[in-house]
Structure 1
Amino acid sequence: MEINQLTTETRNPNSQHIDRLTTAEMVKIINNEDKKVAEAVEKALPEIAKAIDLIAERFKKGGRLIYCGAGTSGRLGTLDAIELTPTYSVSPKQAFGILAGGKEAMYEAVEGAEDSKELAVNDLKSHQLTDQDVVIAIAASGRTPYAISAVEYGNQLGALTVSVTCNKDGVMNQLAQIGIAAVVGPEIITGSTRMKAGTAQKMILNMLSTGVMIKAGKVYQNLMVNVQPTNLKLIQRSISIIREATGSDAETAEQYLRKAENHVAAAIVMIETGRSLSESEQSLKENNDRIAQAINELQKKS
């Protein structure tokens, strides 16, 4: 498919005279178009849910999440990976982004990098891609050579491949084991896919990574229970999380955090079940770190 035939590259009839409008009229048009993004993502929810389940299976066994892309798409993937460390204590070795053109491409354009299929293979080889890993390739058009090559090489090695695009008929969607396409329609500024397409990609990546973290037991209720209390601020946050999860007072929460050797999830299980640290940790291990299941299993044994 030629680039001018892609949905993301066609002209938007709603904004053809945007250069002649008042600022208030301009931002209203942009806002109205942005409202369409969530609806486009909604149509892709079945594929997103399937991807979460399959990614989580590999992640829980130690498989890595490797985001691949160029330009805005690649930067969004890298951002999603980076944020998993402070939010969920995921090692940067288990979730990371690979940008066409290298790390410097995060801050400035590296001309020609996105057109190299060989570069993507070399980048993945340098990270020793295996069949246990997940390759999440991101490209608004669905036809960026670098991202396509990442999917192809991932398939060759038996890795799980997921594509995130904004064109239903993009080549990547046909090649990836799971193709996710949020068709947001023409951009306000023709071809400026950092706008609606970028927003859709960010929403999808948020869903994928958050869903995987929930499946991996890093969330209890709606609390980030995998925080590492390494300084005073994080200790206070850990105490607050334990209080919210269990309804206990601050003194009790702090006491159990110490008993649990700063393991927030274990402290919650100990308070809710009255079991020892070793019993709580064992139950967490047997239940893939899912706190609710660990508590339920211990309570059954009472």
Structure 2
Amino acid sequence: MIVRAPTEERNTGTYDIDLLPALDVLRQINAEDVTVPAAVGAVLPELARAVELGVAALEGGASIHYFGAGTSGRIAAQDAAELPPTYGVPPHWVVSHHAGGGEALTRAVEGIEDDWGSGRADAAEITPGSLVVGLAASGRTPYVGGALEVARERSASTVLISANPQAPLAEDVDVHVGMSTGAEVIAGSTRMKAGTAQKLALNAFSTAVMVRMGRTYSNLMVGVDATNSKLRGRVVTILMQATGLDEEACARALNAAEGDTRVALVSLLADVDAASAARALGTARGRVRAALGALGVAERAGDG
């Protein structure tokens, strides 16, 4: 008997989709898409546990590793690539691994996702204390299974993000974020609802990890450093929004901080020089609020 994942079942509401005009095809797709946020919302407690595992890995000096194939792997690659420029974190904090390597990111490489050994090989750099996040719409992709197996052998934490609450690979992971997105508009086309759900979950996961790691102040990005004129303008705007001070004062503070946004921000809010701000941030492991507290500043973000 063939056991199918929910994403492989036929959607009873779209049997006649091929008979519809374009607008009605789009309406059916959209009607299914609007169910995805609720499916993600139902697993937020599990996603929160995954976030804490990610924070623990980074605070322990280890890394977070994503593993996926096809759409899942491409979503993982995009998420990991966007974190360094957004939050000013080193690339080794979050690393993506795609079945088939770089070539498979732009062109489908058939069969590679079924290679358990390839997943094991790509996970060779996993170290104790790391977090391995496997993404698999069906929850049974062998490539992802191989990577998760190595993670367990290396005493790394494991998370599976899938669109199958009964995912076979979930049996041996620390946390399973199993979203019930159901049958796709086109049977088995998991780049649709399942892919959207994985993107929502992974973006939320990585953003929450960055927030918990102190890479934001309020809802502002303060890990971005002014390494060029475009970024300098963006950072000055962030400083103005956070402090309520004028452009000239924020630009001076940024210059004194040698382009370091967080140093400039603490300097402005605590009314201390850049060196004092840098020392406070060092003690606070880069967290702006903790640094301000150590300097005796009781400040609410957004007052500016």
Question: Taking structure 2 as the reference length, what is the TM-score of the superposition?
Answer: 0.95
2: CA distance, partners of 1:70 / 1:39: 25
Q: 2-side partners of 1:288 and 1:25: how far apart?
A: 53
Alpha-carbon displacement from aligned partner over 1:116-136 (angstroms, at most 9, x marks no partner): 1111111111xx210121111
The residue aligned with 1:274 is 271
Alignment of 1:262 onto 2:259: yes
Aligned position for 2:232: 235
Kindly state the Cα deviation for residue 60 of structure 1 after the two structures are TM-superposed.
2.6
Return the alpha-carbon distance in structure 2 between the equivalents of residues 88 and 289 of structure 1. 12
1:119-134 aligned within 5 A:
119-125=118-124, 128-134=125-131
Q: Verify: 1:61 aligned to 2:60, yes or no.
A: yes
Structure 2 residue matching 1:135: 3-state secondary structure? strand
Q: Is the 8 A contact 1:119 1:146 kept in 2?
A: yes
Runs of 4+ in 1 over 4 A off after TM superposition: none
Task: Indicate the SS of the match to 2:258.
Answer: coil
CA offset at residue 287 of structure 1?
Answer: 2.1
Q: Is the 8 A contact 1:140 1:165 kept in 2?
A: yes
Look up the SS of the partner of 1:279 in the other structure: helix
2: distance between equivalents of 1:77 and 1:59?
18
Residues 1:2 and 1:219: Cα distance change in structure 2 (over 3 Å) = farther
- Aligned position for 1:113: 112
CA contact (8 A) 2:270 2:295 kept: yes
Distance 1:2 1:257 in 2: 62
The residue identity in structure 2 corresponding to 1:257 is L
Residue 83 of structure 1 pairs with residue 91 of structure 2: no
Q: Which amino acid aligns with 1:298?
A: L
Q: Could you say which residue in structure 2 is the equivalent of 1:10?
A: 9
State the secondary structure of the residue aligned to 1:25: helix
Residues in 2 aligned to 1:224 and 1:61: alpha-carbon distance in whole angstroms: 23
Is there any run of 5+ residues in structure 2 with no aligned partner, and where?
A: 299-304
One-letter amino acid of the counterpart of residue 232, structure 1: S
Q: Kindly report the root-mean-square deviation, in angstroms, between the aligned alpha carbons of the 2 structures.
A: 1.4
Distance 1:118 1:75, change over 3 A: same
Cα distance in 2 between the residues matched to 1:112 and 1:293? 49
User: Within 2, Cα distance between the matches of 1:90 and 1:226?
Assistant: 7
Partner of 2:21: 22
After superposition, give the CA deviation of every residue in 1:191-211 in whole Å (9 maximum; x if it has no partner): 000000000000000011000
Q: Report the Cα offset of residue 300 of structure 1.
A: 5.8
* 2:43 aligned partner: 44
Deviations 1:153-190 (A, max 9, x none): 10111111111000011012222111101111100000
Q: 1:295 aligns with which of 288, 292, 295?
A: 292
How many corresponding residue pairs?
298
Secondary structure of the 1:31 match is helix
Matches of 1:257 and 1:3, distance apart in 2: 59
Question: What is the TM-score when the length of structure 1 is the normalising length?
Answer: 0.95
CA distance in 2, matches of 1:2, 1:169: 15
1:221 partner amino acid: S
Contact 1:88 1:213 (C-alpha < 8 Å) held by counterparts: yes
Selected match of 2:175 from 164, 169, 178: 178
- Aligned partners of 1:182, 1:35: CA distance in 2, in Å? 14
Structure 2: which amino acid aligns with 1:176?
Answer: V
Secondary structure of 1:272's counterpart equals helix
Q: Is the 8 A contact 1:148 1:171 kept in 2?
A: no
- Any conservation in 1 of the 2:46–2:177 contact (CA below 8 Å)? yes
* Residue in structure 1 matched with residue 301 of structure 2 by the alignment: none
Conserved 8 A contact 2:138-2:167 = yes
What amino acid does structure 1 have at the position aligned with 2:178?
A
Q: Secondary structure at the match of 1:284?
A: helix
Distance 1:7 1:226 in 2: 40
2:138 counterpart letter in structure 1: S
Letter in 2 for 1:269: V
Kept in 1: contact 2:137–2:163 (CA 8 A):
yes
Structure 1 residue 156 and structure 2 residue 160: aligned? no
Assess if the C-alpha contact under 8 Å between 1:55 and 1:134 holds in 2. yes
Per-residue deviation, 1:3: 4.5
Distance in 2 (CA, whole Å) between partners of 1:2 and 1:58 is 38
SS at match of 2:140: coil
Matched residues, percent identical? Answer: 39
- Secondary structure of the residue aligned to 2:34 is helix
What amino acid is aligned across from residue 220 of structure 1 in structure 2? Y
Farther off after superposition, 71-80 or 60-69: 60-69
Asked whether the 8 Å contact 1:3–1:9 carries over to 2, the reply is no
| Structure 1 unaligned regions, length at least 5 | none
